[in-house]
């Protein structure tokens, strides 16, 4: 068939190019109304609003034809028109910086997690090299350099003990703590796999603690525990508290007290963020935290630009975001205006400077999502290229927000007035269609990508795909080859044995089975990080976005809110948003476009609908 005014109408395709996903919807539009035939989605190619989007758009159209069981364009059928969304040129960028840092000058601690330390308990004494054991006096902690055989080490310690040396603990370079402990006459705590053992200062007061299997150290990870062990005064206790923090969660730890040992918990000046609104300009210290930044932002609304002090972290973060925008829009950085920011407090495990075994300490950090509005979108270029590739007309069919509302209205049970929240990858968008047909829309920075990034950095995953999987799937712990315990406490049994690589691991329950999460943290910890990340982004942004479209800024005047977009598919985000809206008397539910597509495809369908009405 052709795209002419045939008996069953014109073939019209809507294409929504988002930050993450490109969606298409094929329909016939005729006198008897609109029939939706098929939909498809694919990854957006290139940055939203740039000519690179063409490839993804064309792929989405072709697949939507497959889904509609029609011959692909050019191979027997030709769409009458392909409609693209006018991406309100909002592009979002992300940046993250640490704002506190633990520095330990004079190596004073070793707190790593060798898989198999030996013995258990705590030993407090003076550090002595194994070769100097004969001259040791009083409680002694033996330090063993690399290259020693475990049999010899055990024999030397036993000899010393027999001669009356009080050996209370040992620190080894190699992974042989258990082998040594098994050969000792008296059990002592032994920490092994200390790579930089030669840097352990000798002749100093030190403490070695090893917890029983499945437990973590209790004394050295507690500020007052350290104070008791080393007889510290309140000032010194405050000084060593970062050491305690860095050792938390480890099964074994060593702390050596060097006289000049200096531990500082340094705050890094992140810089000042300048928020320029229509009426006033305010400055806020980024150290002050997300809440302070967001309160200040609320006071300057509407934001016209945000800048960071040169030479500071925040300056660097915003410059980085602006650079990306320059690439996208082809306009100089000086012409790019930041129209919204979302600041989120986060905690990142960072390696402690001065540690001996890659110790990490949870450091405060702030993540910023920023959104830019440019005066010109290059969507027309994409439309021209799509037209060329598919050999049909292609034009810009409407503005995203309005189209999303129209698409949302195909959800059974919805009616005007209606508000939608489009939870995408880069931005959270709200739109309102009132009884008179007037539509208003806003975009705020931060959505699914920021959630993934927070999960990745807070858990130290360093892998976007793993973080994305942690975001999307519930957790479990594999307790035996035949059963897992889900994060809600329920147990599931399997008829076939689970693969060995997931045994005793925290896993995500993907549709393809359990996949290990590379972390030593518990299911509870990972779950808490995941839920907090979603709350920090979506609870905050749902309220921010809806307040801007609600009549008079009052959420009470919104009756129904329909959730759309990829993040509305999340297994806990819709509940979380319903919870924050409930106190305002707002009913909120997940969209089901055409009664079949779930929260997806609203903009693409809305484009078709808007065209049909014209
Ligand atoms: P955009 O309109 O910006 O292209 P989408 O509406 O496609 O964005 O949403 C993309 C976001 O949705 C991504 O952050 C992705 O992680 C998230 N997402 C997609 N599917 C799921 C899912 N099943 N659970 C949770 N998040 C999801
Ligand atoms: Mg979208």
Span 121-153, pLDDT tens digits: 999 999 999 999 988 889 999 999 988 999 999
Q: Do 290 and 323 fall into the same domain? A: yes
| Minimum CA distance residue for ligand 1 atom 11 | 425
Alpha helices in 231-350 (DSSP H): 234-247, 290-300, 313-329
pLDDT score for 107: 43
Q: Is the pLDDT of residue 4 over 60?
A: no
Span 157-181, pLDDT tens digits: 999 999 999 999 999 988 888 999 9
570 lines ligand 1 (CB under 6 A): yes
18 lines ligand 1 (CB under 6 A): yes
- pTM of the complete model beyond 0.75: yes
Q: Do 28 and 155 fall into the same domain? A: no
Of 342, 373, 404, the position where a domain reaches its end is: 373
449 lines ligand 1 (CB under 6 A): yes
Structure confidence at residue 93 as a pLDDT band (50, 70, 90):
low
pLDDT score for 424: 92
**With pLDDT > 70 as the criterion, what percentage of the chain qualifies?**
91
Nearest to 418 by CA among 543, 601, 546: 546
Report CA(425)–ligand 1 centroid distance (Å).
5
Which ligand 1 atom sits closest to the C-alpha of 44?
4
Q: Do 361 and 423 fall into the same domain? A: no
Residue of 50, 427, 541, 566 to test ligand 1 pocket, by largest number of atoms within 8 Å of CB: 566
Q: Do 534 and 465 fall into the same domain? A: yes
Q: Do 241 and 299 fall into the same domain? A: no
Domain count of the fold of the chain = 4
567 lines ligand 1 (CB under 6 A): yes
Instruction: Note the ligand closest to the C-alpha atom of 470.
Output: 1
Mean pLDDT of 516-533: 95
Alpha helices in 391-426 (DSSP H): 400-408
Q: How far apart are CA 580 and CA 259, in angstroms?
A: 53
Contact 405, 593 (CB under 8 A): no
Q: Do 65 and 139 fall into the same domain? A: no
569 lines ligand 1 (CB under 6 A): yes
Q: Is the pLDDT of residue 476 over 60?
A: yes
Which ligand 1 atom sits closest to the C-alpha of 21?
4
Report CA(426)–ligand 1 centroid distance (Å).
9
Phi, psi of 538 (to 5 degrees): -85, -35
Q: Is the pLDDT of residue 264 over 70?
A: no
Span 558-584, pLDDT tens digits: 888 999 999 999 999 999 999 999 999
Report CA(141)–ligand 2 centroid distance (Å).
61
* Crossing angle for the helix pair 448-458 and 464-472, to the nearest 10 degrees: 110
Q: How far apart are CA 139 and CA 136, in angstroms?
A: 8
pLDDT score for 393: 95
Mean pLDDT of 115-119: 83
Q: Is the pLDDT of residue 214 over 80?
A: no
pLDDT score for 97: 72
Q: What is the CA radius of gyration of the chain?
A: 30
Least confident of 110-119, 172-181, 477-486: 110-119
Instruction: Note the ligand closest to the C-alpha atom of 18.
Output: 1
Q: Do 389 and 419 fall into the same domain? A: no
205 lines ligand 1 (CB under 6 A): no
- Which strand ranges, in their side-by-side order, compose the sheet holding 475-480? 491-493, 483-486, 475-480, 506-510, 513-516
> Which residues sit with Cβ closer than 5 angstroms to ligand 2, an ion?
18, 424
Of 211, 229, 261, the position where a domain reaches its end is: 261
Which ligand 1 atom sits closest to the C-alpha of 573?
25
Contact 579, 585 (CB under 8 A): no
Least confident of 109-123, 312-326, 351-365, 430-444: 351-365
Nearest to 450 by CA among 367, 525, 568: 367
Q: Do 438 and 587 fall into the same domain? A: yes
Q: How far is CA 339 from CA 20, 241, 302, 395, 536, in A?
A: 20, 40, 8, 27, 20
Q: How far apart are CA 495 and CA 382, in angstroms?
A: 52
566 lines ligand 1 (CB under 6 A): yes
Q: Do 255 and 111 fall into the same domain? A: yes
**Tokens encoding 519:** 């972390």
Q: How far apart are CA 306 and CA 321, in angstroms?
A: 11
Report CA(565)–ligand 2 centroid distance (Å).
6
Mean pLDDT of 252-276: 75
Which ligand 1 atom sits closest to the C-alpha of 451?
14
CATH of the domain at 83: 3.30.420.40
Q: Which residue has the higher pLDDT, 260 or 175?
A: 175
Q: Is the pLDDT of residue 508 over 50?
A: yes
Q: Is the pLDDT of residue 191 over 60?
A: yes
Of 212, 234, 261, the position where a domain reaches its end is: 261
Q: Is the pLDDT of residue 505 over 70?
A: yes
Report CA(379)–ligand 2 centroid distance (Å).
15
Structure confidence at residue 516 as a pLDDT band (50, 70, 90):
very high
Which of 197-201, 548-552, 562-566 has maximum average pLDDT?
562-566
Q: How far apart are CA 556 and CA 506, in angstroms?
A: 42
Nearest to 312 by CA among 362, 371, 267, 360: 267
Q: Which residues contact 606 (CB under 8 A, 6 or more apart)?
A: 14, 398, 402, 403, 404, 405, 406, 407, 408
pLDDT score for 374: 61
Instruction: Note the ligand closest to the C-alpha atom of 400.
Output: 2
Determine the structural domain holding residue 37 and report its residue range: 1-88+377-412+594-614
pLDDT score for 2: 38
Q: Do 292 and 343 fall into the same domain? A: yes
Which ligand 1 atom sits closest to the C-alpha of 449?
14
**Tokens encoding 356:** 């001996």
Span 418-462, pLDDT tens digits: 999 999 998 899 999 998 989 999 989 999 999 999 999 999 998
pLDDT score for 253: 87
**DSSP state for residue 45 in the 8-state scheme:** P
CATH of the domain at 167: 3.50.30.70
472 lines ligand 1 (CB under 6 A): yes
Least confident of 42-56, 298-312, 325-339, 467-481: 325-339
Name residue 434's beta-bridge partners. none
CATH of the domain at 302: 3.90.470.30
Alpha helices in 147-289 (DSSP H): 150-162, 177-182, 223-230, 234-247
pLDDT score for 106: 45
Q: How far apart are CA 583 and CA 37, in angstroms?
A: 40
Determine the Cα angle at 331 with ends 325 and 335, to 5°: 85
Neighbours of 562 (CB within 10 A): 28
| Minimum CA distance residue for ligand 1 atom 27 | 567
Least confident of 259-263, 401-405, 560-564: 259-263
Neighbours of 122 (CB within 10 A): 20
424 lines ligand 1 (CB under 6 A): yes
The SS3 of residue 463 is coil
Q: Do 428 and 395 fall into the same domain? A: no
Per-chain mean pLDDT for the chain:
87
Report CA(288)–ligand 1 centroid distance (Å).
31
Q: Do 549 and 460 fall into the same domain? A: yes
Report CA(603)–ligand 2 centroid distance (Å).
7
| Minimum CA distance residue for ligand 1 atom 10 | 425
Mean pLDDT of 378-392: 92
Q: Is the pLDDT of residue 473 over 70?
A: yes
Neighbours of 437 (CB within 10 A): 8
């Amino acid at each position: 068939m052709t795209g002419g005014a045939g008996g069953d109408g014109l073939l019209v395709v809507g294409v929504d190019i988002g930050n993450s996903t490109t969606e298409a919807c094929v329909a016939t539009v005729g006198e008897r109304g609109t029939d939706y035939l098929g939909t498809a989605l694919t990854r957006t190619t290139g940055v939203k609003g740039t000519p690179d989007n063409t490839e993804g758009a064309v792929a989405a159209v072709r697949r939507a034809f497959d889904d509609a069981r029609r011959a692909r364009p050019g191979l027997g059928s030709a769409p009458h028109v392909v409609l693209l969304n006018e991406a309100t040129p909002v592009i979002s960028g992300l940046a993250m910086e640490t704002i506190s840092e633990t520095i330990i000058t004079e190596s004073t601690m070793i707190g790593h997690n060798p898989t198999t330390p030996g013995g258990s308990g705590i030993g407090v004494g003076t550090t002595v090299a194994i070769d100097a054991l004969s001259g040791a006096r009083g409680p002694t902690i033996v330090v063993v350099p690399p290259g020693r055989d475990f049999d010899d080490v055990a024999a030397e310690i036993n000899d010393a003990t027999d001669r009356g040396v009080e050996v209370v603990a040992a620190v080894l370079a190699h992974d042989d703590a258990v082998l040594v402990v098994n050969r000792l006459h008296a059990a002592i705590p032994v920490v092994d796999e200390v790579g930089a053992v030669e840097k352990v200062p000798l002749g100093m007061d030190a403490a070695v603690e090893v917890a029983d299997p499945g437990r973590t150290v209790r004394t050295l990870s507690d500020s007052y525990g350290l104070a008791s062990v080393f007889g510290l005064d309140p000032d010194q206790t405050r000084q060593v508290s970062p050491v305690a923090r860095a050792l938390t969660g480890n099964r074994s730890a060593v702390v050596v007290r060097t006289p000049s040992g200096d531990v500082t918990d340094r705050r890094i000046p992140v810089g000042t963020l300048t928020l320029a609104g229509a009426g006033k300009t305010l400055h806020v210290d980024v150290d002050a935290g997300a809440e302070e930044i967001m309160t200040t932002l609320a006071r300057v609304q509407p934001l016209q630009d945000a800048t960071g002090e040169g030479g500071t972290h925040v300056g660097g973060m915003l410059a980085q975001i602006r650079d990306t925008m320059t690439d996208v829009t082809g306009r100089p950085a000086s012409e790019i205006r930041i129209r919204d920011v979302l600041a989120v407090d986060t905690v990142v495990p960072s390696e402690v400077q001065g540690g001996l075994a890659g110790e990490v300490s949870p450091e405060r950090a702030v993540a910023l999502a920023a959104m830019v509005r440019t005066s010109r979108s290059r969507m027309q270029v994409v439309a021209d290229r799509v037209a060329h590739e598919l050999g049909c007309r292609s034009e810009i069919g409407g503005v995203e927000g309005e189209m999303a509302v129209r698409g949302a209205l195909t959800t059974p049970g919805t009616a005007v007035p209606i508000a939608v929240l489009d939870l995408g990858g880069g931005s959270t968008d709200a739109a309102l269609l009132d009884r008179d047909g007037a539509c208003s829309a806003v975009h705020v920075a931060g959505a699914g990508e920021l959630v993934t990034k927070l999960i990745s950095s807070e858990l130290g995953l360093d892998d976007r795909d793993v973080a994305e999987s942690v975001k999307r799937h519930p957790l479990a712990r594999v307790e035996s080859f035949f059963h897992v315990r889900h994060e809600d406490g329920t147990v599931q049994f399997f008829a076939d044995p689970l693969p060995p690589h997931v045994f005793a691991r925290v896993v995500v329950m993907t549709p393809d089975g359990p996949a290990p999460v590379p972390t030593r943290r518990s299911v509870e910890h990972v779950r808490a990080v995941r839920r907090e990340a979603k709350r920090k982004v979506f609870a905050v942004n749902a309220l921010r976005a809806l307040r801007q479209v609600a009549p008079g800024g009052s959420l009470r005047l919104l009756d129904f809110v329909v959730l759309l977009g990829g993040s509305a598919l999340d297994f806990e985000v819709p509940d979380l948003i319903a919870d924050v809206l409930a106190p305002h008397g707002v009913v909120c539910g997940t969209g089901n476009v055409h009664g079949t597509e779930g929260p997806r495809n609203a903009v693409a369908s809305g484009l078709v609908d808007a065209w049909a009405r014209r």
